[in-house]
Every structure is written in C-alpha cells, then in structure tokens.
C-alpha cells in the first residue's frame, strides 16, 4: 500500500474529534468493570513517520530511575496543563519537551483513538499524527532513555499481539505485550497500538 492510500486508511478509521465517548482502558483488557473515579486528563502523540519503505510508529523508552513507569516503552505525552487549549496541544507540547519533535514536523493530525483509562487514574486522549522527515530528535535525558521506530506493518499484524497476565493488588490482570526485537511494548501503550491495529484492519475494537 502506498503512502497516500495508508494516510487515507488511517484517517477513515479514527475519530475526527477529541470529543469522544468511547472509553477503553486497562480495565477492559483485564476483563474488569470500569472503575468510576476522578481521572486526570492526559494526551499522547502516536507519531506515524513516513519512511520510504512504509510508515513507522515512533516510541520512547523511559529512563530506569523514574519513580513511575521506569524503563517502560510509551508514546510521547503526559498530563494536560491549564494552558493547553486541547488534547492536541498537550500531545504536541509533550512531544517537543520529551523528545524534541517540533510540531512543524507533525504535518497533519490524522484523528484520535478511543480514550484510554489507566489503572493509575489517567484518562488519555491518543492523538495520531503524520510526521514527515527529516527531523532531529533531542531527548529529555532525565525522562527518556531512547527513541525508536517500529514498522506500522509489524504493529498491524495480530500475531504480534500477545495477552499475558500478572498479579496486581491481589488480582490476576491481563495485559497486552507486543515483542519487537529485544524490546517489550506492554500495558497501556500496547493496548492503544492494538486498538489502532484493530481499527485499521476492520477487526472488532478492543472491548
């Protein structure tokens, strides 16, 4: 599939506005009821990078010394600030702060995935954007150990979507893992990528 066709396919499968009612999350993956609680708004940027061989997904690996989510693989993003006019602004600001991806390189906001509620109390708006090289990243050394790209075709292949389980607060909870080379993408990031894959491949959405 050429780049233009893939861009059109991505646009058509996403929400066109961030005013979204559909909420998935850690609870859905684990097969549990959604917990009613006060949530902190957040947003992440899911950058789809146009490469000659096809689109890739740009991800980050957090540093090992952080108090929360140390060493985990994630999208650039974070909690909304008062000055952010929208989730798009939050996602673009965080991408600039975390990895130095200037918003001028995000040539189009393609749309939005379903809202994602985390077990830690965040309500994340995943913002999908098309990114055009060349660009030079500047990592925020305290938070980000590395930035890397995964081929979108790899993400779209359901054979790479593994379900695993762990004991969390006395309960067995399922979660997604996407192994890639020597890395393991898991948790909320993996679940959002699975949601993107299911939308793009016309499979049932993550319930």
Q: What is the CATH number of the domain that holds 144?
A: 3.90.79.10
pLDDT in tens, 144-153: 999 999 999 9
Q: DSSP labels for the chain?
A: --HHHHHHHHHHHSBSSS----EEEHHHHHT-PPP----EEEEEEEEEEEETTEEEEEEEEE-TT-SSSTT-EE-SEEE--TT-SSHHHHHHHHHHHHH---GGGEEEEEEEPPEEE-TTSEEEEEEEEEE-S-------TTTEEEEEEEEHHHHH-GGG-EEEEEEETTEEEEEEEEEETTEEEEHHHHHHHHHHHHHHTTPPPP-
151-183 burial, b at 16+ Cβ within 10 Å, e below that, comes to: ebebbbeeebbeeeeeeeeeeebebbebebeee
pTM exceeds 0.75 for this model: yes
115 within some domain: yes
Q: Which residue has the higher pLDDT, 204 or 101?
A: 101
The whole domain housing 190 covers 3-200
The residue written with tokens 């058509």 in the block is 12
pLDDT computed for residue 205 by the predictor? 45
Q: 55-99 pLDDT, tens per residue?
A: 999 999 988 765 555 578 999 999 999 999 999 999 999 999 999
User: Average model confidence (pLDDT) for the chain?
Assistant: 91
Number of domains observed in the structure of the chain: 1
**Is 20 part of a structural domain of the chain?**
yes
In sequence order, the 6+-apart residues with CB closer than 8 A to the CB of 134 are none
Please indicate, yes or no, if residue 205 is contained in any of the structural domains. no
Of residues 202 and 99, more confidence is placed in: 99
Mean per-residue pLDDT, 4-23: 94
Residue 176: pLDDT over 90: yes
């Amino acid at each position: 599939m050429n780049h233009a066709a893939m861009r059109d396919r991505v646009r058509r499968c996403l929400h066109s506005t961030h005013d979204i009612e559909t909420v998935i999350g850690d609870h859905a993956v684990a097969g549990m009821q959604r917990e009613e609680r006060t949530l902190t708004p957040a947003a992440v940027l899911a950058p789809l990078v146009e490469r000659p061989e096809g689109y890739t997904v740009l991800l980050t690996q957090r540093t090992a010394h952080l108090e929360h989510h140390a060493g985990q693989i994630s999208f650039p993003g974070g909690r909304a600030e008062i000055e952010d006019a929208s989730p798009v602004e939050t996602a673009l600001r965080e991408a600039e702060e975390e990895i130095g991806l200037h918003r001028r390189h995000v040539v189009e906001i393609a749309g939005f995935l379903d809202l994602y509620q985390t077990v830690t109390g965040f309500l994340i708006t995943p913002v999908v954007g098309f990114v055009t090289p060349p660009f030079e990243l500047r990592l925020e050394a305290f938070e980000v150990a590395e930035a890397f790209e995964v081929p979108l075709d790899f993400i779209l292949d359901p054979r790479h979507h593994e379900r695993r389980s762990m004991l969390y607060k006395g309960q067995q909870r399922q979660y997604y893992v996407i192994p890639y080379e020597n890395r393991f993408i898991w948790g909320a990031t993996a679940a959002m990528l699975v949601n993107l894959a299911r939308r793009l491949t016309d499979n049932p959405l993550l319930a």
